[in-house]
A and B are shown apart, each in its own frame.
Chain A
Amino acid sequence: MAKVESPQVTRRTTRSYSASNDAIESTKPIEPYKPTLNDLGFRQQPLSFEDLLSCLPGRRTQVLELLRLLGPLNSPMFPILIYGGPSTGKTSVILQVFRHLNRPFVYSSCVTCYSPRILFESILNQLFHRKNSGNSYSSIKRCEKPSDFVNYLREALESVIKNLKGNSGKLSSKVSGQPNGTMIYLVFDHLERVRKWDKSSTILPFLFNLFDILKMPEVGLIFISNTSPDTYYFNMGYVEPIPLCFPDYTEDDLRQIFMANQTNRKLYSSFLDVVLRPFCRVTRRVDELSAVFSSLFKKYSQPLSDMGVAPNEDMKRRLFSHLQPHITSALNETFLSPSWPPLLKDEANGETKKKGSSRMSRIHEDFDKIDFHMSTSAKYLLISAFLASRNPATLDASLFDSTGVSDSRKRKRKPSEKSLEQKEMTELELLMKGPGTFPLERLLAIFQCITSLAEDSLDEEESHELTIEGGSSGLMSDVLLQLSSLCNANFIIKGGSCPLEGSTRYRTAVSEDLALKVARSLKFPLSKYLYRR
């Protein structure tokens, strides 16, 4: 009798399970990394003074003043507050200065550490602890209150300083690249975020008074903030840290910054001659300017066949005239990077032409299309929300009656002086108050009307293009989901509930331009439905 082997049911394993099994079999358990004093320094080659100044253009005075306030090795200091506009180089200067001085420091940013507990634990973790799988990625100590933080910090700092003092005695420390000195510096970046925390009324004075509370001369505190020191005044007093101002870059500094690391300096310098002055009238922030300059430079050097050439006067004039229309259009855009790269955009234009009648005009190609993707029902919902906010509720019946759009015949009279005045007042009111609120039922009613109209009009065209199954009931089931995703994307704002009725009211948050763009992409005649006073 043949043995009937019971069919072996192979166990289905997921990929990670089989991988981890292999890993456990093949490798030894990895030793947890023990952080040492070296981790408190910058961990890269220290810079010389000239390198420091050259990698931070336009910041010579600030670097010198910072070096003076930090002082020579092992000298105690009072807390410093570095303040200046965004993208003025405050964080980079501090980090590069510490790299140059090769002193140990602990950096924590109040953007990534968005609550007191995370901030405290992050600082304590950097002083000799590494989260790894051995301790299941937990912090060294759970620390929520400032009192616990001060106690743990004192312990950790005392052990670190003892190590530093032990090391500074040996000569070999300089050779092995360990950080110098017996002082340790705590850097708190983005301090202005702390003002928005819940416990800001105790945490901010605590941070500013930390120097007096700790009473350890080996600790230096440095605060970096985007707003000036006068925005930190509270009821609770504190001794002010020494302020250090980082003013915005001047035009010459900007030129120096943009010229760094350019391959063809003469070409780029002639480009900057053309664009720097007009764009500096709008904004002087480096991040915004660099975004627009990179795309404009590509357009500027388009007619050039050889990128390495140094332009003469004649070429400069030609390049300038080529660039001129692009400058005026770029000045009126906020300098976002496009979500589609320009090459793909051409293909997309080619594809949409397949869908039959498209009336997109070539000149306004860039500005007419919305550059993000929305489903059709979401677009209709957005338009309905816009109409619900803009039109008064009493007009719905006449606008959306079953016979389609009815042209209002009442407006043939010539407007009198008083009604003109009233019109102005109501326009002013509209400017001030903003779009109105509407309840959910009204939104759904308008949505129903619009989509039924759209289906009727599309039935006349090639109806197999659209993939909506069977009438408006197919759209309806998605609508509430779509509504909540539109609320999350801030296209519709959910307000408080009306005190009389108790239902939540919504408000539209899109501008008229965007609504028109969306309507145009659906071929929906939005302007016929908008109530003009």
Chain B
Amino acid sequence: MGREKEKENPSQKALNLLRTRLSNPNFVFKPLSDSPDSNYSKLKFIISSSITEACNNSILLLGPRGSGKVAVLELVLSDLLQQYPEAISVIRLNGLLHGDDNCALKEIARQLCMEHQLLFSKVASFDDNSQFLIAMLRECGLAHKTIIFVLDEFDLFAQAKQRLLYSLLDAMQSVTSQAVVIGVSCRLDVDQLLEKRVRSRFSHRKLLFLPPSKEDTERFLEHILSLPKDSSLPHSYTVEFNGRLKNVLADERFKELINTYLSFNSTIGQLMRFLFQAVSYMDLDVGFLSLENFKTALSSTQRQPKSECIKDCSILELYLLVCMKRLEVKEQNSYNFNSVMTEYKSIHDFQTSDNYAGNVCLRAFEHLLQRELISFTDNRGHNQSVEFRPVKLLISPAELYHGLKSYRSCPAILLKLIAR
């Protein structure tokens, strides 16, 4: 695979197509939004009615991460922009970026200026920006133009003083303004975080985004992974690909696999990541998806990081971990490196093959700290040197035991010590 070939073979093109689809949320959520009682239709109805009736509105979209809240919202907005091209302007804010009120108002002013081709000044103060906002709302209201505010990560806006929320919702109370505030959040109780005065100005409309049912998921999988008939791929290849895909999807083992995955990661967004991994494991020489791809993807999502860390440890580090566990069993509540060293030396009373000096053990101790298998229990920490600060184990005894048992060439003494 030295240089990329000019002419891609069909399997590579198919892989590209599938990967592009899976990482594009708009494509993914379109089929789920077709039915009339879906969130898409409800949201579209609410926003379009507030546009046509020239009234203010506010709504919250709630659901776990990856359930498609922003994707569905973008679909609705793009449809409405096509339907009413001159009557909408959209301002997008994100709680991670604009959680601070000054920052948020600056961003609102910047986006408004960009949309209406005005000059934006970077040194405008908070008051200037808020006056500008109110003036724009009034002007747009007079021109029958609705401003839609999309507040992503709404719970982060509701943290400190909620000045932005209050000023937005307050500005919406006047008759001249036409604005819709859409809050998107993963916390289902986000309206409890609002202050009393903000909550009273908020219409308590909420849309919950739930994971789709099993039948929907199955139909959806087939739709996502099948190659379209009218693409630039050769027709015979497409037909065979889709045929094999159908066989895989109908397989009982596949259904079990998907159920296992969905039982702990139930949102569509995470399913997309899983399918992306499976698709990227597709063997380009064969050119078709097989059950093995999905199995490999599932095993790569079921990692146990702490057991992997144990496998990476050297034998001296395992000794230190076993000594710490023995100290915990002896109910010493706080212990530090020096007490671990005394325990280590006492283990070696009857065997001297792995007895190392203090500085070597200290270095192994620091490796364990780096891997986060142990950690300090005090927070201030800079008053003492490393040997005296109290530590604790971050790995449970069961995990330690399993790790030791599956360790290649683990010394027998360790297994004996930990079994007691």
Which residues does chain A contribute within 8 Å of B311, judged by CB atoms?
A: 247-248
* Bound form: Cα–Cα A325–B96 in Å: 60
Map CB proximity to B onto A70-88 as digits: 1 under 8 Å, 0 otherwise: 0111111110000001100
Known: A145-B103, A281-B316. A245 touches B280 (CB 8 A): no
* Bound form: Cα–Cα A202–B186 in Å: 16
Contact A242 B273 (CB under 8 A): yes
Contact A331 B356 (CB under 8 A): yes
Contact A283 B367 (CB under 8 A): yes
Binds B, one of A159-167, A223-231, A355-363, A401-409: A223-231
Which residues does chain B contribute within 8 Å of A248, judged by CB atoms?
A: 311-312
Map CB proximity to A onto B329-345 as digits: 1 under 8 Å, 0 otherwise: 00000111011001000
* Bound form: Cα–Cα A141–B270 in Å: 36
Contact A280 B314 (CB under 8 A): yes
Known: A77-B23, A147-B103, A239-B66. A228 touches B372 (CB 8 A): yes
Q: A213's contact among B66, B94, B306, B316, by CB below 8 Å, is which? A: B94
Known: A78-B23, A217-B20, A226-B370. A239 touches B280 (CB 8 A): no
B276 contacts the other chain (CB 8 A): yes
Classify chain B: how many residues form its interface, as a range: 35 or more
Contact A434 B4 (CB under 8 A): no
Known: A206-B97, A228-B372, A282-B356. A431 touches B342 (CB 8 A): yes
Map CB proximity to B onto A42-82 as digits: 1 under 8 Å, 0 otherwise: 00001011000000000000000001110111111110000
Map CB proximity to B onto A288-326 as digits: 1 under 8 Å, 0 otherwise: 100000000000000000000000000000000000000
A134 contacts the other chain (CB 8 A): no
* Bound form: Cα–Cα A333–B360 in Å: 6
A272 contacts the other chain (CB 8 A): no
* Bound form: Cα–Cα A428–B388 in Å: 12
Map CB proximity to B onto A14-57 as digits: 1 under 8 Å, 0 otherwise: 00000000000000000000000000000000101100000000
Which residues does chain A contribute within 8 Å of B382, judged by CB atoms?
A: 493
Which residues does chain A contribute within 8 Å of B23, judged by CB atoms?
A: 76-78, 217
Contact B360 A334 (CB under 8 A): yes
Number of chain A residues whose Cβ lies closer than 8 Å to a Cβ of chain B = 72
A415 contacts the other chain (CB 8 A): no
Binds A, one of B11-19, B188-196, B217-225, B252-260: B11-19
Contact B312 A284 (CB under 8 A): yes
A390 contacts the other chain (CB 8 A): no
Known: A331-B356, A334-B363. A86 touches B339 (CB 8 A): no
Q: B281's contact among A68, A212, A431, A507, by CB below 8 Å, is which? A: A68
Contact B312 A85 (CB under 8 A): yes
Contact A507 B316 (CB under 8 A): no
* Bound form: Cα–Cα A248–B15 in Å: 32
Most interface-central of A150, A331, A431 (chain B CB within 10 A): A431
A237 contacts the other chain (CB 8 A): yes
Give the residues from 492 to 533 in chain A that come closer than 8 angstroms, CB to CB, to chain B: 493, 495-496, 507, 509, 511
B214 contacts the other chain (CB 8 A): no
Contact B20 A493 (CB under 8 A): no
Contact B24 A493 (CB under 8 A): no
Give the residues from 269 to 310 in chain B that come closer than 8 angstroms, CB to CB, to chain A: 269-270, 273, 276-277, 280-281, 300, 303, 305-306, 308-309
A1 contacts the other chain (CB 8 A): no
Contact A217 B308 (CB under 8 A): no
Which residues does chain A contribute within 8 Å of B335, judged by CB atoms?
A: 432
Which residues does chain B contribute within 8 Å of A333, judged by CB atoms?
A: 357, 359-360
Q: B65's contact among A174, A181, A227, A237, by CB below 8 Å, is which? A: A237
A433 contacts the other chain (CB 8 A): yes
Contact B4 A146 (CB under 8 A): no
**B382 CB to closest chain A CB, in angstroms?**
8
B364 contacts the other chain (CB 8 A): yes
Which residues does chain A contribute within 8 Å of B303, judged by CB atoms?
A: 243, 245
Known: A49-B1, A243-B303. A431 touches B96 (CB 8 A): no
Q: A202's contact among B15, B99, B306, by CB below 8 Å, is which? A: B99
* Bound form: Cα–Cα A206–B383 in Å: 33
B198 contacts the other chain (CB 8 A): no
Which residues does chain A contribute within 8 Å of B277, judged by CB atoms?
A: 69, 242
**A74 CB to closest chain B CB, in angstroms?**
7
A178 contacts the other chain (CB 8 A): no
* Bound form: Cα–Cα A77–B20 in Å: 8
* Bound form: Cα–Cα A85–B99 in Å: 35
**B309 CB to closest chain A CB, in angstroms?**
6
Contact A71 B273 (CB under 8 A): no
Give the residues from 97 to 147 in chain B that come closer than 8 angstroms, CB to CB, to chain A: 97-99, 103, 107, 110
Contact B372 A283 (CB under 8 A): no
With both beta carbons as reference points, the residue of chain B lying nearest to A430 in the complex is identified as B338
With both beta carbons as reference points, the residue of chain B lying nearest to A49 in the complex is identified as B1
Which residues does chain B contribute within 8 Å of A433, judged by CB atoms?
A: 388
Contact B371 A227 (CB under 8 A): yes
**B33 CB to closest chain A CB, in angstroms?**
18
A448 contacts the other chain (CB 8 A): no
Which residues does chain B contribute within 8 Å of A281, judged by CB atoms?
A: 314-316, 354
Known: A78-B276, A147-B107, A434-B388. A86 touches B370 (CB 8 A): yes
* Bound form: Cα–Cα A69–B110 in Å: 37
With both beta carbons as reference points, the residue of chain B lying nearest to A250 in the complex is identified as B408
**A253 CB to closest chain B CB, in angstroms?**
12
**A10 CB to closest chain B CB, in angstroms?**
51
A205 contacts the other chain (CB 8 A): yes
B385 contacts the other chain (CB 8 A): yes
Contact A73 B280 (CB under 8 A): no
Contact B316 A282 (CB under 8 A): yes
Map CB proximity to B onto A464-504 as digits: 1 under 8 Å, 0 otherwise: 00000000000000000000000000100101100000000
Q: A282's contact among B276, B314, B338, by CB below 8 Å, is which? A: B314
Known: A68-B280, A77-B19, A247-B311. A331 touches B97 (CB 8 A): no
A332 contacts the other chain (CB 8 A): yes
Which residues does chain A contribute within 8 Å of B281, judged by CB atoms?
A: 68
* Bound form: Cα–Cα A308–B332 in Å: 57
Which residues does chain B contribute within 8 Å of A96, judged by CB atoms?
A: none
B234 contacts the other chain (CB 8 A): no
A384 contacts the other chain (CB 8 A): no
Contact B314 A283 (CB under 8 A): yes
* Bound form: Cα–Cα A236–B153 in Å: 10
A451 contacts the other chain (CB 8 A): no
Contact A72 B305 (CB under 8 A): no
B8 contacts the other chain (CB 8 A): yes
* Bound form: Cα–Cα A202–B100 in Å: 12
Which residues does chain A contribute within 8 Å of B314, judged by CB atoms?
A: 280-284
Residues in chain B within 8 A of chain A (CB atoms) = 1-4, 8, 12, 15-16, 19-20, 23-24, 65-66, 70, 94, 96-99, 103, 107, 110, 156, 186, 269-270, 273, 276-277, 280-281, 300, 303, 305-306, 308-309, 311-312, 314-316, 334-336, 338-339, 342, 354, 356-360, 362-364, 367, 370-372, 382-385, 387-388, 390
Known: A230-B306, A231-B372, A239-B273. 15 other contacts (CB 8 A): A46-B3, A71-B16, A71-B280, A72-B16, A147-B98, A217-B20, A228-B306, A242-B273, A247-B308, A280-B314, A282-B356, A284-B312, A332-B357, A493-B382, A496-B383
* Nearest 8 interchain pairs by C-beta: A434-B388, A228-B305, A332-B357, A147-B97, A248-B312, A281-B315, A431-B338, A509-B385
14 pairs across A/B with beta carbons < 8 Å?
A46-B3, A68-B280, A68-B281, A71-B15, A72-B16, A75-B19, A85-B371, A209-B96, A217-B24, A283-B314, A332-B356, A333-B360, A428-B339, A507-B384
